Amino acid sequence: MQTSIERAKLWVERDPNEKTREYVNSLIKSDTGESSSGHLASLFPSDGSRIGFGTAGLRAAMKAGPLGMNDLVIIQTTQGLARYCERFSQGNGNGDKKLIAVIGYDHRENPELNLSSKSFALLAKMVLLEAGFECVLLDGYVATPLVAYATTKLNAATGIMVTASHNPMADAGFKVYWSDGCQIRPPFDELIADSILENLQPWTDYGTKLKETIAMASSCVDSCYGLGNADQTLSITNDYFNSVRNSGLVTNQNAASTKAGIVKPKIAYT
């Protein structure tokens, strides 16, 4: 079993984020050597625990370490997800099929540590490209249902929405959708969790690759530095709203509103 400080040092070796690396390094340097400080131990428990992956994917505060939402956790999680999707596809006789993934994100961020839903989405796409996926990164902030819709529309193997929904503003989340557009459920959640643990070592230097991508996109109007799919996002969004309008869905509330002479609001609950 590794000590908290040993786990922290390994984390620093793998973490592509300069801000979180510096933060953890400062905690390591201030450690007395006799016993890990309370804060260091809370970020890197000696029992080896890490953020749990379940039916809602991941959800936690944006902070350094295996219990938080940060760049390295996103990389490790996406690597594990990609490998499981590959195994699932091969097991169903589709080993030669190029897999598709969809990613969306919201506005959450932690500027102090340079962590954000957007940066998580960019890193997730880079991991999926590294794994050989075709990956559609929805350009700009999008509503969660759009990812589920796009996953089925594009016949994607998986969809990822980087959001913590109603959680406190300091949190971030990583919701995973299966090919049917539904959030993952047993046994997929446990199998993906196992795959994540098998893929903790980053496959490449994602931090450097992202910097190079941003540098090359200095004149690009794409908010995702050339990694986003703006035209496709607009097309999918239009298709989504058209499908809602043409769905023919009628609720008791709508009927009651009509009877009472109330104009129904032009919104959809999804």
Residues classed as catalytic:
165
> Parallel, antiparallel, or unpaired for β 115-116 and 134-137?
unpaired
Residues 227 and 139 sit within 8 Å (Cβ to Cβ): no
Query: Would you state the structure tokens that stand for residue 248, as one six-digit string?
Result: 């023919």
Inter-helix orientation angle 230-245/144-153, to 10°: 90
Distance CA(219)–CA(17), nearest Å, equals 24
Phi, psi of 136 (to 5 degrees): -100, 110
Query: Would you state the structure tokens that stand for residue 25, as one six-digit string?
Result: 């390094």
Distance CA(54)–CA(35), nearest Å, equals 33
Length of the chain: 270
Query: Hey, which bits of the chain come out as E strands?
Result: 58-61, 100-105, 109-110, 115-116, 134-137, 158-162, 171-178
One-character DSSP codes across 128-193:
HHHTT-EEEEB-S---HHHHHHHHHHTT-SEEEEE--TTS-TTEEEEEEEETTSSBP-TTHHHHHH
